[in-house]
Amino acid sequence: MSKRIAITGLLFIVLAACTEQTKNKAEAQSTVTDIIDQIDKGRYLAIVSGCNDCHTDGYLMTEGKIPEGQWLAGTRIGWQGPWGTTYPSNLRLRVQQWTEDQWVETLKTRKALPPMPWMNISQMKEEDLRAIYQYIHSLGPTGEEMPLAVAPGVMPTTPYVSLFPQNMPQANALEQ
């Protein structure tokens, strides 16, 4: 199902519910417009915040030429560094499991393994985090859970990108 069809169906349900509750078509249409604006804002923020760079398989390698229906479903390509190997989670499934409030709380307080830039995400405004949640939620669930993190020194069984610094100067060379 295309995103446009899914959102149109969702908006029809919301419009019907709002019309039933308010008995005022203009007010209901305003509510639908607000929802569309929130989803569009979330889409924009997901793009410019780089969410797809890690959470969409092949996004970086194709310069973003991945169909939107495949966005944010995670990838089995790990990121390996001194912390071990981590995998970008399937956000499409995650938002189906969490409430919007749980999403915001997690992104504001979580401190987990790299390369996820938690220190940056936690600085986002709550309204922006909610817009991203609404956008991802509007895409609907797809895919499967990604692998769990692998401990340092354990070789992953999946492809991975190495983030170990190379050709670093000797520690004593820095002191001179």
For 69, 139, 144, the CA distances from 5, given in Å and listed in that order, are: 11, 10, 22
Mean pLDDT of the chain: 87
User: Nearest 5°: phi and psi at 86?
Assistant: -115, 160
Task: For residues 132 and 40, give the distance between their C-alpha atoms in angstroms, rounded to a whole number.
Answer: 9
- The residue assigned the tokens 């709550």 is 126
Could you tell me which residues come within 8 angstroms of residue 11 by beta carbon, excluding any fewer than 6 positions away?
32, 35, 36
Give the per-residue SS3 of the chain.
CCHHHHHHHHHHHHHHHHHHHHCCHHHHHHHHHHHHHHHHHHHHHHHHCCHHHHHECCCCCCCCCCCHHHCCCECCCEEEECCEEECCCCHHHHHHHCCHHHHHHHHHHCCCCCCCCHHHHCCCCHHHHHHHHHHHHHHCCCCCCCCCCECCCCCCCCCEEECCCCCCCCHHHHHC
Give dist(CA 151, CA 145) in Å, integer.
18
Dump pLDDT digits (tens) for 132-169: 999 999 999 999 999 999 999 999 999 999 999 889 88
Tens-digit pLDDT profile for residues 28-86: 566 767 788 999 999 999 999 999 999 999 999 999 999 999 999 999 999 999 999 99
* Confidence (pTM): 0.79
pLDDT of residue 18: 55
